[in-house]
Amino acid sequence: MMKRRNFIQLSSILSFVGLAPVVSATAAGVSESNTNLPTGAKDRMYWVKLLDKMASPILSSMSKGELKKNMPMDYSPAWDSRNKEVAYMEAIGRLIVGLAPFVSLPDDDTEEGRIRLKMRSQIHASLSNAVDPESPDYLYWGSPKVSQPLVDAAFLAQALLLAPAALWEPLSSQTKERFITEFTKLRAIKPPNNNWVLFAAIIETFLLYVDASFDAARIDTGIDKIIGWYVGDGWYSDGVKFHFDHYNGFVIQPMLVTVLRVNVAKGRRTQAELDIAYKRMQRYASFQERFISPEGTFPVFGRSSTYRVGAFWPLAMLALENNLPAGVLPSQVRPALTAVLKRVFINETFNSNGLLTLGFVGANQSNIADYYSNTGSMYLASFAFMPLGLPANHEFWTAAPTSWTQKRAWNGEVFPKDYAVDY
């Protein structure tokens, strides 16, 4: 039974806040909080401080129009010939997707609340600079020959759809019109026949959501192609041929659901399509929970491994929506994801400027950076932090920790059997 599956209901529940400096680095990435706190409260503060550590170098600069001035970029050793300016849109676009649920929570006078307030305020200023031609941080919006901005404008659209009340509505009318203009220009970029069709679809879906002129064909082509690429048991192929990588997590599952939610709400697509896409995402997320080893590691395979914990976007999104797969409890997902965060985000995962490195764990893995990878690309990792959009008194944060599936299996405890599904 799906709870709160309607997209508009979800966005009205989320109401972000934001802000305050944080975090002293330790071997685990950030300092541990008051050890007298309950486990869930300690976990939450660890997540908050880690997210702030990740976000601060980006937001503190771009909110002042100084991101391009202050953010040194590393590029893959295999970097192709695309315009290097795309990296800045990647940094802000990807980062704020993961921040959106957190900054949608109400303001309060706590350390966490001050962090939220800061983040939200900085996001507003950053978004204004992103589309202001007079700002030093006016983003590079691409051309028919430089297509990467289609990807990261799509992540900007995803963030705005996740938290319209917190991120879109407070913007000035001029900034809103500028976003609509820039998004509309992206129609000049034709997406390749893979997950990119969703990037075109979600940008047009955002325009639909704000009652601007939209291209229905780009929406419907994206939806229809992805649905047509379903291969079974919760997995979609990325194009005609199946790719065994984490792109079902990085993009396909959550973005398809977001696109369908808005289009169903607008009367353009059917509830049945949304229902089946949601069930498939739940099935995929059940695999994600089983990916996490007793030690807090997960299998690294396929391209874009440098996006790290961004692969867990479907599991994180379902936790946020109180709709985890059957048999998967918040009390096991929180400690499992916390264990993963602590394995991935060690001190060396950040460089001397506080930015994420081009690797997976530590600083010596730039060889795995794909030809399109740069420092900005790494901030897709923020997607795993979506449960921070749940209030601190939610079961996800208050329940006593229980063992996740692999921990139970390898400890010789009872754990659930698994079978393929036929939807």
Mapped onto helix, strand or coil, the DSSP state of residue 28 is coil
- pLDDT class of 6 with cuts at 50, 70, 90: very low
* 128-165 pLDDT tens trace: 999 999 999 999 998 878 899 999 999 999 999 999 99
Please, what is the average pLDDT of the chain? 92
Please, what is the angle between helix 39-62 and helix 330-344, to 10°? 50
- Residue 423: inside a domain: no
Q: Evaluate whether 386 touches 319 at the Cβ level (below 8 Å).
A: yes
- Residue 1: inside a domain: no
Report how far residue 71's alpha carbon sits from residue 55's, in angstroms, rounded to the nearest whole number.
Answer: 12
- Residue 189: inside a domain: yes
* 292-320 pLDDT tens trace: 999 999 999 999 999 999 999 999 999 99
Q: What percent of the chain has pLDDT above 70?
A: 92
The pLDDT of 268-284, averaged and rounded, is 98
CATH number for the domain including 258?
A: 1.50.10
- Residue 416: inside a domain: no
pTM: 0.92
Residue with tokens 């771009």: 62
Task: Check residue 141 and give its pLDDT.
Answer: 95
As a dihedral over the C-alpha atoms of residue 126, residue 127, residue 129, residue 131, rounded to 10 degrees, the angle is 160
Task: Check residue 32 and give its pLDDT.
Answer: 62
- Residue 85: inside a domain: yes
Mapped onto helix, strand or coil, the DSSP state of residue 115 is helix
* 339-398 pLDDT tens trace: 999 999 999 999 999 999 999 998 899 999 999 999 999 999 999 999 999 999 999 999
The pLDDT of 19-48, averaged and rounded, is 68
Token pair in block for residue 251: 């993009």
Q: Which range among 11-20, 84-93, 216-225, 354-363 shows the weakest confidence by mean pLDDT?
A: 11-20
- Residue 418: inside a domain: no
End-to-end CA distance of the chain: 15
CB atoms within 10 A of CB 97: 28
Report how far residue 114's alpha carbon sits from residue 52's, in angstroms, rounded to the nearest whole number.
Answer: 11
Report how far residue 64's alpha carbon sits from residue 297's, in angstroms, rounded to the nearest whole number.
Answer: 37
- pLDDT surpasses 80 at 29: no
CB atoms within 10 A of CB 400: 9
Count of structural domains within the chain: 1
Token pair in block for residue 244: 């065994």
Q: Which residues contact 201 (CB under 8 A, 6 or more apart)?
A: 218, 219, 220, 221, 222, 223, 255, 259
Task: Check residue 30 and give its pLDDT.
Answer: 79
- Residue 162: inside a domain: yes
Please, what is the angle between helix 271-291 and helix 313-320, to 10°? 110
Q: Which domain holds residue 26?
A: 7-410
Report how far residue 203's alpha carbon sits from residue 216's, in angstroms, rounded to the nearest whole number.
Answer: 11
Handedness of CA 324, 327, 329, 332 (dihedral sign): negative
- Residue 34: inside a domain: yes
Mapped onto helix, strand or coil, the DSSP state of residue 16 is strand
